[in-house]
Amino acid sequence: MDVLAVGETMVVVTPEAGGRLASGSRYLLRPGGAESNVAALLARLGHKAAWASALGADPLGDLVLDDLGRHGVDVSLVRRDGQRPTAVYFKDPTPAGTRVYYYRGGSAASAISLADIAHWSAQPARLVHVSGITAALSEQTREATRALVRGSGLVSFDVNHRPQLWHGDAPEVLLDLAQDSDIVFVGRDEAEALWGTTDAESVRALLDRPRYLVVKDAAIEAVSFTPTGVHRVPSAEVDVVDVVGAGDAFAAGWLSGFLDDRDETTRLRLGHYAAARVLESPSDFADLPPATEIVAGL
């Protein structure tokens, strides 16, 4: 296995053809989860990707498993929970951007335990990918996320601050998890909201331990701090349809370049390419071609 991604995947409900949530009459159902998005996009790019989590023993859990399996993600580590449901979230495409509404309290994934982590992290994988969302689901998943980050070999961590899920302690918890990781993805704005940093350099001054730190600045650029120095690549020009999932796609593109041992500029360009394809799509996902084809056309 190249990558094991761990975290909650919900079913996302989206009004068809760009309507608003309250006025729609037809809705699409798809899996929606930051870490499984990364796993599915890495599978599209040509890597061996697994996703581990807990799902309800319900039809929504079946939908998630079937869809991710069809995208080539190994889902054999997923635990089904007979007591707790698969979570759901809704997207409302407002004129000011997409708003999300979560229905995930008490979900199967909010009960991911240390025993799950012990089982999953014993599986051979070149790297483990997790995000700050998992640490926000419950006290138990916070401990589980710490154990995963501290107990795994190479760890990729996307800060993924979701203010709706936190009760005030996000800055300390997310900083600790990021500092204990090897590869960290964070948005410039996200870092500013969490820690008061202003630019990529001040994020690096704070997050000084990860071997690779990638600071994304939406439409402007991505800056990475790596053992080979500091690298900057401007973002692609995109007609944005929906921003949800762009960060996951960026992470998948960069990680693909990392797994294939490509140079840092190519990794950042792969990140922007994958993010642009997801931004152009109303879903959190895009049918990416294999990475070798993308790199040939960059």
Q: How far apart are CA 159 and CA 191, in angstroms?
A: 9
Three-state DSSP state, 280:
coil
Minimum CB distance to ligand KDG smaller for 34 or for 112: 34
- Please name the residues in contact with 69: beta carbons below 8 A apart, sequence gap of 6 or more: 75
Give least dist CB 22 to ligand ATP, A. 23
Residue 248: active-site member: yes
Among left, alpha and beta (phi > 0; psi -120 to 50; other), residue 206 is alpha
Which of 2, 3, 13, 32 contacts ligand KDG by CB under 6 A? 32
Q: What is the DSSP letter of 253?
A: H
Which of 30, 146, 162, 262 contacts ligand KDG by CB under 6 A? 162
Could you tell me which of 12, 8, 58 has the C-alpha nearest to residue 36?
8
**Which residues would be at the binding site for ligand ATP (CB under 6 A)?**
160, 187, 190, 216, 218-219, 222, 235-236, 238, 240, 243-248, 250, 271-272, 275-276, 279
How many chain residues touch ligand KDG (CB under 6 A)?
11
> Within its chain, how far is the Cα of 9 from the centroid?
10
* Annotated catalytic residue, options 62, 248, 260, 287: 248
> Within its chain, how far is the Cα of 272 from the centroid?
15
Which of 15, 33, 61, 253 contacts ligand KDG by CB under 6 A? 33
Which of 3, 41, 68, 133 contacts ligand KDG by CB under 6 A? 133
Q: Contact at 8 Å (CB) between 157 and 149?
A: yes
214 binds, among ligand ATP, ligand KDG, none (CB under 5 to 8 A by kind): none
Which of 187, 210, 247, 282 contacts ligand KDG by CB under 6 A? 247
Could you tell me which of 39, 41, 64, 65 has the C-alpha nearest to residue 50?
39
Q: Contact at 8 Å (CB) between 270 and 22?
A: no
37 binds, among ligand KDG, ligand ATP, none (CB under 5 to 8 A by kind): ligand KDG
The interface region with ligand KDG, picked from 32-40, 194-202, 230-238, 290-298 by CB under 6 A, is 32-40
* Interacting residues with ligand KDG (CB under 6 A): 32-34, 37, 133, 162, 244-245, 247-248, 284
